[in-house]
A and B are shown apart, each in its own frame.
Chain A
């Protein structure tokens, strides 16, 4: 009963938690059932990376949905989605460093810094790390006005993630589709565009 009334009040949060946790559960399930027969490292790397991007896009979509559609409740899941995105970024990096390169530092250094496609991903990951740490309320208070400025770096992280994706594939179709969505979500934040679109709505 408690659960049902919580779900009624907070169905959106429940949905956000499910969106954040189910891909991980699915990945573990697939791994345990031997779905990754040939190249599990690549499979885990691409799945955690793709999930991180999807969650980052969802978190970036919250603000425009609020301003354009007036749905206030989405703002309550924005931080959670961002943190889940960071969870998958962390898993993605650990897969790369640990499962793929086995923490062989002599190989790992060049692998990160000499590979064009890795750099934007690595930078996006560092940004999300800082944002994840400072997402706690304490930091929010401590940083005051600067907190908002700092957290605008998430736009940069979104762009870097797309560049990372674009540079690692031979076929650019999928990253370009995600890129279009990220571009739209960023354009909708431009004050003039935002006003124009919300005027149309009224």
Chain B
């Protein structure tokens, strides 16, 4: 099975540290380099929308799918801690306090450690243009900034007993009014098998479109697992725990028949109430066919060899 290298996702020339992104250095140069590396693209970058912050290094993902606009990415959010309405999250999350912030990494590790946001930003930040496929059958293409989760996990040295990683969002009903709803078992919890967590494609994101994450996108730090449905990519993380048993996520607890642990994007395995065969690409006004593992099959299919994906949904 070929191992994925980061250069398969974002051209190596585009690897810039967060700081140089923020400085907006040579944004145009970078995008033309990135585009020519994609091949077959028009090398002239189009005019950037007025609302776009510092330019990302590419205008498309590796399949040629255009980036979703910054405006859409920051105004269409599933973040039930703030609101069930996607369009309301940005407003309600505006004053969310993301500093100071710490992420406690604990559990079955030799070297438990609490990371401040500045410690997380000290990991070399790189851009990853990923497709995000929501379980509700819509999708976006987002240029994230972040670093592989594997690097953080290596620092804390998981014990051999550790088989899963459990993530937890901040619990603060005063700031997150949605957490007052008794219908869900707050705080939000998600989990990955250790090999999924260590996979090169799995990142902790601290920014998107070259800027720090906005609260509605899961500031200050969130998970991004591009081959799984969006709800796996837990936001505003405060705790990461290495565990032996498969963690029970919030969605598994509230609707076990509908949401499983793996939640891999799969057009063949329908949600019990709707089909996952197609998706609406936000901002493009068109519906496209969904692909197995959200198009990342070459890199991740081996993780699930021999597993019945309709049983392990």
Chain B 130-153, CB-CB to A under 8 Å as 1, else 0, gives 000000101000000000000000
A40 to B138, CA, bound (A): 13
Chain B residues with Cβ under 8 A from A41's Cβ? 280, 285
Output the nearest chain B residue to A167 by Cβ-Cβ distance.
B273
Interface centre among A102, A115, A118 (most CB of B within 10 A): A115
Q: Does A101 contact B (CB under 8 A)?
A: yes
Question: Would you list which residues of chain B between 256 and 280 have a CB under 8 Å from chain A?
Answer: 270, 272-275, 277-278, 280
The reply to whether B287 and A102 form a contact with Cβ atoms under 8 Å apart is: yes
| B171 beta carbon closer than 8 Å to chain A | no
B287→A39 contact, CB < 8 A: no
* A107/B274 contact (C-beta < 8 A), A38-B87, A171-B84 known: no
- Note all chain A residues with C-beta closer than 8 A to B72: 37-39
Within the assembled complex, what's the spacing in Å between the Cα atoms of A115 and B137?
12
CB of A168 closer than 8 Å to a CB of B: yes
A116-B274 in contact (CB<8A): yes
Contact with B along A16-60 (1 / 0, CB 8 A): 000000000000000000000111111000000000000000000
Which of B57-95 touch A at CB < 8 Å? 71-72, 75-76, 80, 84, 86-87
Whether a CB of chain A sits under 8 angstroms from the CB of B117 is no
What is the count of residue pairs linking A and B with beta-carbon distances less than 8 angstroms?
60
Question: Which among A38, A111, A167, A173 is the interface contact of B282 at CB below 8 angstroms?
Answer: A38
Query: Which residues of the partner chain A approach B86 to less than 8 Å between Cβ atoms?
Result: 38-39
Given A37-B75, A38-B72, A102-B287, the answer on whether A115 and B275 have CB atoms closer than 8 Å is yes
> A116 touching B287 by the CB < 8 A rule?
no
- CB-based contact B183/A171 at 8 Å: yes
How many chain B residues have a CB neighbour from A under 8 Å? 25
Given contacts A110-B277, A115-B275, contact A37 B71 (CB under 8 A): yes
For residue A111, which residue of chain B has the nearest CB? B275
* A37 proximity list for chain B (CB < 8 A): 71-72, 75
User: Is the CB of B177 closer than 8 A to any CB of chain A?
Assistant: no
A117 on interface, CB distance cutoff 8 Å: yes
B3 on the A face (CB < 8 A): no
Contact flag A116-B273 (CB < 8 Å), given A37-B72, A37-B75: yes
A195 to B287 Cα, complex, angstroms: 53
Interface residues of chain A, those whose CB is within 8 Å of chain B, are 37-42, 100-102, 104, 107, 110-111, 114-118, 167-168, 170-171, 173
Pairs across A and B, CB under 8 Å, 19 listed = A37-B71, A37-B72, A38-B75, A38-B76, A38-B87, A38-B283, A42-B138, A101-B287, A102-B286, A104-B287, A107-B278, A110-B275, A111-B275, A115-B270, A115-B275, A167-B273, A168-B273, A168-B274, A171-B183
Chain B residues near A (Cβ < 8 Å): 71-72, 75-76, 80, 84, 86-87, 136, 138, 183, 270, 272-275, 277-278, 280, 282-283, 285-287, 289
Minimum-distance CB pairs A-B, first 5: A38-B76, A167-B273, A38-B72, A117-B273, A116-B273
